Structures are given as C-alpha cells and as structure tokens.
C-alpha cells in the first residue's frame, strides 16, 4: 500500500481549491479552478448554477489526482462550502432551481416569520440564513422538493454519499440546534417538513464512499472514504492549527472577524456572537465592521506597505480611533448608529495610518474580552489570517495590545482545514462505513 494522503476541497462561489496532506500534515499536492461570477438579480438575489460547482469540483479533483505521485494513496475526502448557500433537489439529488448564494437577500419576509418563533440564539435568523432561503423557495412553487442541501452537502452527494446528509456547521443557519444536537421543534411551526432536512453528522464523520465510475474517471481509488465537511469559515479556522480552549484566530480582511476555541458554547445575539460545535469543543465568534476596508479607503496598497515599514509599533500614537467606513456596529459594540471615530487627524499620513492600525487592534482586544465575558475561555494566543496577517509591524503592535503570544497559522487555505477533517477518523475503514449504512437503511 502507498503513503496515505487525505484530500480537502474548498468550494466557494468564485473558485474551488483542493489539497492533499499526509498523516503529518505536510501538503503533498494542490490544485485550483476558477468559477464564473454569480448572477445578481435586481431584487437582491444572488444565484449560481450548481452544475458549475460540480464541474469545478471534478476539474479540481482531476488536476489534484494527476499531480499526486503514484506512491501516494488517497484515503478520504472532505469538502467545505460557503455557509448559507442553499439548493433544493428532488429525491435523486437533481437540482430544482439555481442555487441561492449566501448573500441573496430576497427572504426578508421569511426572516420575520423565523424571528417570531426561533429562540434568539438560533443561527437561522436573518434574510440570508439558509432557513429563510428554504422558506422563500418553498413559496416559489418548490414545496414538493425532497432535500434541502447546502453547497458542500450536494457535492458530497454527487460524489457518492447518500442524499440528505449534512454537517453540524453548515446546518447551523438552517436552524439546527448544536447544543441539543437536533433539529428543533419550532421548525414545525414554519411548516418545514422534517424529512426535507438533512441528517446531520459531526464534521469528519465518514458518510459514504466515492462512486466507482467517478473514481475511475478521476484516477482516484474507489475505496476513497467521503467524510462530512464543514463551512468555509470553520475550515479556514481548522487550517490555522488552533484547537485548544483559549486559542483565538483573527481574520484581518475587509472586515475584522474573531474566533475563539471555547469549552462552552456562548451566544449573545444582540452582538452577533454565536458558536459552532467542534466535536466536544466550541468555536465562538463575532464579526466587527472595522477592518482592512477602512485602511483601503484612506491608503493605497503601496502606501500600506510603505507606512507599515516606517511606523514604530512600540510608540503608540494614543489617538484612540474606532475605524469604521460608515456609522453602525454590531460586535463588540452593539450600536446600529455608532459613529466612526477618526479624529483628531494628525498632520502626517504615517501617524494617521498607525492610528488606524491601533484602532482596529483596540476593537480586536475588546472583541476577545466580550467573548470572554459571554462565557468563552480566556484568550491565550492569537493566530492571524486574511490580507492584514502579513503585516509584521501590525502583528507586533497587536501583540502589545492583546497581551498574548501571536502564533503562526499552520495554513491559510480553507481546503487545508477540510483535509484535516478528512484525516481525523482515518481509522474507520470503508467496510465499517458500508456496514453502518446498511444498518441505517
């Protein structure tokens, strides 16, 4: 037998990335395919043909399989997809409409119906939740659909897993209760037929085997185990290597998003604090409106690079900014009218730039403190991802503000996190999975 490797695929709405890792976590191969842009409708809709995902998945897996040396033997595969992306299918997994992407906001009226019955801490709130989309689609003449599936659920089914299988992370926005580990009773009040909801597994659980014909077509073993995946953001978290209570991951993208491993779930809906289940641990998180977009509004990328080298992170400006692009914040301050605080404006641009970095770091500190106050474990270390993670002056400044060690992230690609899930229960053999499937049928 060859050297075992585990495959992870991150399927987003702009492309698909696949990685193979070995038992030690070393990347042994990778591939990437771009996807055509989604279609926007003039009433706030965003949709994409699921067939495009499927073609991208096949292409990226084929590219990966071709790139792997023959001595490597793929053992298992996991997928992550964009959370809140929903598709209704018939009994055989045949799509009944173009998939609704996470940013589709057409289900506003349905969100109000959900708000009337769902507890505040449910992940199903808001017009972009998968549940709001499900209710909206059912009202568009699709009430007869057999399965409500997320992006990665549908792709896993096409690869060979039974139809109607999902994971505890994707299912959160469809209303799944991760504390009770069940679909809640209140879904009945919204007339959601229970058999339309997927069967939910812990991420990393073997759920099927790669279809034999596909295996031959792709050049992959037909004994390849398919395991339950997760959402793109949880996969990106897993990829960083954070996994002990108190491990934080800060995403420094256009916006600032914090995640913290906790031994307890925490919820503070008024601040948008929610928790994903991660096996026996929890992943508490919140997202602020501050972030790199504010930097970009005032500085070019070249200036960001130049001023970052020029500032002294040990000499704070003390300007106490709260950088926002427009008024309004949810986390760590719940105030829909919170004004940006970007004054007084110093004479030189370098000092202004440093004050913005300090302001974002202060919001980061307050955010981790809020997660702790809500009941999560105290912050012990921080890993950084996103566009701002490369900025070493900022990392130094943030370490000083946060007062904890800054750890390097193992990997920045969500696909790596999916591959880690594929490796998680590699001891379960194909034979055991088939036996369990037969018992359950």
**Contact residues for ligand ADP (CB under 6 A)?**
253-254, 292-293, 295-296, 304-305, 308, 386-388, 390-391, 394
Nearer to ligand ADP, 83 or 391 (CB): 391
Tracing tokens 């960083």 back to the chain, one arrives at 240
Q: How far apart are CA 111 and CA 113, in angstroms?
A: 5
- Nearest approach in angstroms of CB 247 to ligand ADP is 20
What does the block give as tokens for 183? 């679909």
Phi and psi (nearest 5°) for 346? -70, 160
Q: Which is nearer to ligand ADP, 166 or 251 (CB)?
A: 251
CB of 296 to ligand ADP, least distance (A): 4
At its nearest, how many Å lie between ligand ADP and the CB of residue 155? 22
Residues 6+ apart with CB under 8 A from 230: 78, 80, 152, 167, 169, 170, 203, 238, 417, 418, 421
Nearer CB in complex with ligand ADP: 28/411: 411
- What tokens appear for 438 in the block? 């037969």
Measure the CA–CA gap between 378 and 247, rounded to whole angstroms: 9
Is there a contact between 133 and 107 (Cβ–Cβ < 8 Å)?
yes
Residue 399 CB, shortest distance to ligand ADP, in Å, is 15
Give the nearest distance from C-beta 52 to ligand ADP in angstroms. 21
What is the C-alpha separation between 325 and 298, in angstroms, rounded? 10
Report the residue number whose CB is nearest to ligand ADP: 387
CB-nearer residue toward ligand ADP: 251 or 262: 251
Burial of 71 (C-beta count, 10 Å sphere; 0-12/13-18/19+): exposed
Tell me whether residue 215 or residue 357 sits nearer to ligand ADP (CB atom): 357
- Taking the complex as a whole, the smallest distance from the CB of residue 255 to ligand ADP amounts, in Å, to 6
Closer by beta carbon to ligand ADP, 136 or else 394: 394
What does the buried/exposed string (b/e) look like for 225-254 if buried means 16 or more CB atoms within 10 Å of the residue's CB? bbbbbbbbbbbbbbbbbbeeebbbbbbbbb
């Amino acid at each position: 037998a060859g050297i075992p490797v585990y495959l992870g695929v991150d399927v987003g709405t702009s492309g698909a990335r696949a990685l193979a890792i070995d038992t030690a976590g070393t990347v042994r191969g990778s591939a990437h395919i771009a996807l055509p842009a989604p279609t926007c409708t003039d009433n706030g809709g965003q949709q994409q043909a699921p067939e495009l995902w499927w073609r991208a998945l096949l292409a990226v897996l084929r590219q990966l399989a071709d790139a792997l040396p023959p001595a490597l033997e793929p053992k298992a595969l996991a997928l992550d997809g964009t959370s809140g992306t929903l598709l209704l299918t018939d009994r055989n997994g045949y799509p009944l409409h173009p998939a609704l992407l996470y940013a589709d906001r057409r289900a506003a009226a349905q969100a109000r119906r959900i708000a009337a019955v769902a507890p505040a801490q449910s992940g199903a709130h808001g017009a972009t939740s998968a549940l709001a989309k499900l209710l909206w689609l059912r009202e568009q003449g699709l009430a007869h659909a057999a399965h409500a599936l997320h992006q990665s659920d549908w792709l896993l089914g096409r690869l060979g897993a039974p139809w109607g299988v999902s994971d505890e992370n994707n299912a959160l926005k469809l209303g799944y209760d991760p504390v009770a580990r069940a679909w809640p009773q209140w879904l009945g009040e919204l007339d959601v037929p229970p058999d339309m909801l997927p069967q939910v597994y812990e991420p990393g659980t073997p759920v099927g085997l790669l279809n034999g014909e596909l295996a031959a077509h792709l050049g992959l073993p037909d004994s390849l185990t398919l395991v339950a995946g997760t959402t793109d953001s949880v996969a990106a978290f897993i990829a960083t290597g954070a996994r002990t209570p108190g491990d934080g991951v800060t995403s420094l993208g256009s916006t600032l998003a914090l995640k913290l491993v906790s031994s307890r779930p925490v919820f503070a809906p008024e601040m948008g604090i929610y928790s994903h289940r991660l096996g026996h641990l929890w992943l508490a998180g919140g997202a602020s409106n501050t972030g790199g977009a504010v930097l970009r509004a005032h500085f070019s990328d070249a200036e960001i690079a130049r001023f970052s080298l020029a500032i002294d992170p040990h000499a704070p400006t003390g300007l106490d900014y709260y950088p926002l692009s427009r008024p309004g914040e949810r986390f760590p301050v719940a105030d829909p009218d919170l004004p940006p605080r970007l004054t007084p404006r110093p004479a030189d641009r370098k000092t202004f730039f440093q004050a913005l970095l300090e302001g974002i770091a202060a919001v980061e500190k307050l955010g981790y403190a809020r997660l702790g106050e809500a009941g999560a474990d105290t912050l012990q270390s921080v890993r950084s991802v996103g566009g701002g993670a490369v900025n070493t002056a900022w990392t130094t400044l943030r370490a000083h503000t946060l007062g904890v060690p800054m750890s390097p992230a193992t990997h920045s690609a969500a696909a790596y996190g999916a591959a880690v899930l594929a490796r998680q229960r590699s001891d379960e053999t194909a034979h055991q999975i088939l036996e369990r499937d037969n018992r359950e049928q």
